[in-house]
Structure 1
Amino acid sequence: MSHAAPYVNIAAYKFISFDDTQAQRPRYQDICARLGLKGTILLTPEGINMFLSGTQAAIGEYLDWLRSDARFADIEVKYSYSREQSHKRMLVKLKQEIITMRMPLIKPEEGRAPSVDAQTLKRWLDAGVDDAGRPVVMLDTRNDYEVDVGTFHNTVDYRLQKFTEFPEVIAAHKQDFAGKTVVSFCTGGIRCEKAAIHMQNIGMDHVYQLEGGILKYFEEVGGAHYDGDCFVFDYRTALNPRLEPTETVQCFACRAVVTPREQLSPDYVLGQSCPHCALK
């Protein structure tokens, strides 16, 4: 896995019953400090979520350590590379949910929603139908400002401002998906997994999650059927389908995403304001 850029950035999560988060937190803090890793790890009763950046050797040692815990032996990891660490500090947090939906905690032991891998999804989108001949509908479960940076062609976008809005909006539009195959997707797989499980729970048939999210899709098949870039929650702001940082930035003042074209506006002052601030 050698690469010209010196830093390896990983994104990984797993839904699993994790009842000793308090006891485990110091162990995670210690190994991340020892290896010089930067990023965020969330330890929750429903599992783990992490975005970490470090040297190839440090990331490799961390993953060996993580996978020595049987609960995380099979955790899937998404990789990208950069010239500097993608995060500036290291945080290990205890939370109630991996991603907040304010619904009953997911219990993967009771079954996950079916997933579709990147190659299969590309084949379905090439054909416009799944293997059973049903029309395929892409459903973006991310927040509106993330969607605006890039998304799949003809995706359903509910302009969510936070993920807690998802259960109500999908219930109101449930009938729109009758007779169709729905593929929920997000950046790295977490929100779309929760969304797909919830859609199954409310009686929607033929629901899939995109395994590994947009980042895994980019890694495996590039930008086919996708417009734009993918927003990420670190200093890079967005990655293109080659998983390279783009010129897109996030405004320090209002947190809006500012495209290269918008950065030419007189309202854009680095670290102070942007055209979106002027509209607020």
Structure 2
Amino acid sequence: MPYTVAALYKFVTVEDPAALREALAASFVEGELLGTILIATEGVNGTVAAADPAVIDRLLAFLHERLGLDRAEVKFSSADDAPFGRLKFKVKNAVLTFRGVEVDPNRPGTYVEAADWNALLADPEVLLVDTRNDYEVEAGTFQGAIDPHLTKFSEFVDYTREHLDATKHKKVAMFCTGGIRCEKASAYLLQQGFENVYHLRGGILKYLEDIPTSDSLWQGDCFVFDRRRGVGHDHFEEGE
């Protein structure tokens, strides 16, 4: 049975994360929906799957009504089998932690649409940085991307301090799986004085969804945190 997989996130103030968790748990049951959604005062982040696409539609309508989540920002893919074993709604202190550094995720760098990504990378002045963990980079990455060799995202702070220079690196472009890590990383770089910071809107998943294989600069698989372990262009259905 094919499953529709939806990867989503939104940085938005959630006044009562526990109440939102209870509302979600009351509206969706394990079996019809699988996966995990993290909830914090800074927003939501998660990947879910359902055999019935109408269940995904209902979830997205719920999150649009409660949080203003835009369906156009959701990344859709497919799986032949259930990619998750359970359904979890979890309240966290943050949906994405940054080691000892306060970052305002609502003031990120410049979004670059998937359709414009190749043109940006053709600029020789652009420094391209992969903000994912080392084992994710090993599975696949963009041509010419720098691997910071992170074991966890919070180490990006140390990498920036040790290897990036706002006076030297005038244009920095970043990407990650679904967009949330590079969005927060771009906000951090701006806070550190970097002038031109770009990040791939929707991340690798959106790029694989929108860009045909013949035009792709992606090499290898995109590591995902579910039973599929990795996805490529063939996991994304045209028109989703």
User: TM > 0.5 between the two?
Assistant: yes
Match of 1:203, SS state, is coil
**SS of the residue aligned with 1:175?**
coil
Matched AA of 1:153: Q
Distance 2:182 2:198 in 1: 9
Find the counterpart in structure 1 of residue 175 from structure 2: 185
- The residue aligned with 1:146 is 136
Q: Indicate the residue corresponding to 1:61 in structure 2.
A: 58
* Structure 1 position 65, deviation (Å): 1.9
- Structure 1 contact 37–90 (Cα < 8 Å) conserved: yes
Aligned partner of residue 15 in structure 2, secondary structure: coil
Q: Which residue of 2 aligns with 1:241?
A: 233
Post-superposition offset of 1:51: 0.6
Secondary structure at the residue paired with 1:43? strand
**Which ranges of structure 2 fall in alignment gaps of 5 or more residues?**
none
Cα RMSD of the aligned pairs, angstroms, is 1.9
- For 2:233 and 2:105, the matched residues in 1 are separated by 32
Matches of 2:31 and 2:62, distance apart in 1? 11
Residues 17, 107 of structure 1: 8 Å contact kept:
no
User: Structure 1 vs Structure 2: percent identity of aligned residues?
Assistant: 37
Greater Rg over alpha carbons, structure? 1
Residue range with higher mean Cα deviation, 25-34 or 159-168: 25-34
State the Cα distance separating 1:181 from its structure 2 match.
2.0
In the TM superposition, what is the alpha-carbon distance from 1:176 to its structure 2 partner?
7.8
Over 3 Å counting, the alpha-carbon distance change for 1:73 and 1:152 in structure 2 is closer
CA 1:106–1:222: 2 relative to 1, 3 Å: farther
CA distance in 1, matches of 2:94, 2:103: 7
Instruction: Check conservation: 2:172, 2:198, Cα contact below 8 A.
Output: yes
The equivalent of 2:217 in structure 1 is: 225
Alignment coverage as a number of residue pairs: 231
Supply the distance in 1 between the matched residues of 2:125 and 2:205 (Cα, whole angstroms). 24
Picking from 154, 172, 181, the partner of 2:162 is: 172
> 5 Å matches for 1:1-280?
6-33=2-29, 36-54=32-50, 55-69=52-66, 71-74=67-70, 76-102=73-99, 103-108=101-106, 111-125=107-121, 128-129=122-123, 135-175=125-165, 178-223=168-213, 224-243=216-235
- In the alignment, the residues of structure 2 paired with residue 121 and residue 142 of structure 1 have an alpha-carbon distance, to the nearest angstrom, of 18
CA spacing shift, 1:225–1:25, aligned 2, 3 Å: same
- Name the SS of the counterpart of 1:242 in structure 2: helix
Deviations 1:215-244, CA, capped at 9 Å, x for gaps: 001111145112101000000000012226
After superposition, give the CA deviation of every residue in 1:226-279 in whole Å (9 maximum; x if it has no partner).
Answer: 2101000000000012226xxxxxxxxxxxxxxxxxxxxxxxxxxxxxxxxxxx
Q: Kindly indicate whether the alpha-carbon contact (under 8 Å) linking 2:30 and 2:87 is maintained by their aligned counterparts in 1.
A: no
